[in-house]
Amino acid sequence: MTGFVNMATTQSKRIIRAPRAAVYRALLDADAVRQWMVPDGMTSEIHSFDGRQGGTFRISLTYDAPTDTGKTSARTDTFHGRFVELVPDAKVVQTVEFETDDPAVQGEMTITYDLAEADGGTEVTGRHENLPSGVSPSDNELGWRMAMDKLARLVEQG
């Protein structure tokens, strides 16, 4: 098949000691997203964020230390996307695309958060589909774990 590129999928699960409604709100609130959806060693900037079905967002993550591993510029990963499906307190599906000239990290990805009742809180399953070939699945999984830890700290504190 011409032009076919094998795109990876990563998945992470985490029990968060908070109600599903609190976790769901944190997935759709710009200030909360700025706090939790950023790997360690990076700073998040929300350029725009409309947390409703069909709403769009644009976010930049900038490395704190000098580097040349950014996808948009040497130190920054900027991406945009939209919320394609929202099921209150149960599911958030969004598409995301890096703003880059590098074909190895171009392409639309899908991120799905499934929220389920769990003993003592909410089980969050995060699935990141269609990772471009230039994004390491192991680095993506590490970023997921960092973000899920921050999400847990944020919502568990109330």
pLDDT of residue 9: 94
The tokens for 48 are 């725009």
Residue 131, pLDDT > 50, answer yes
- CA-CA distance, 79 to 95, in Å (whole number)? 10
Kindly report, residue by residue over 20-70, the tens digit of the pLDDT. Answer: 999 999 999 999 999 999 989 999 999 999 999 999 999 999 999 888 778
Mean pLDDT of 79-92: 98
- CA-CA distance, 48 to 96, in Å (whole number)? 14
Work out the angle at residue 51's Cα, subtended by the Cα atoms of residues 85 and 136, and round it to the nearest 5 degrees.
Answer: 70
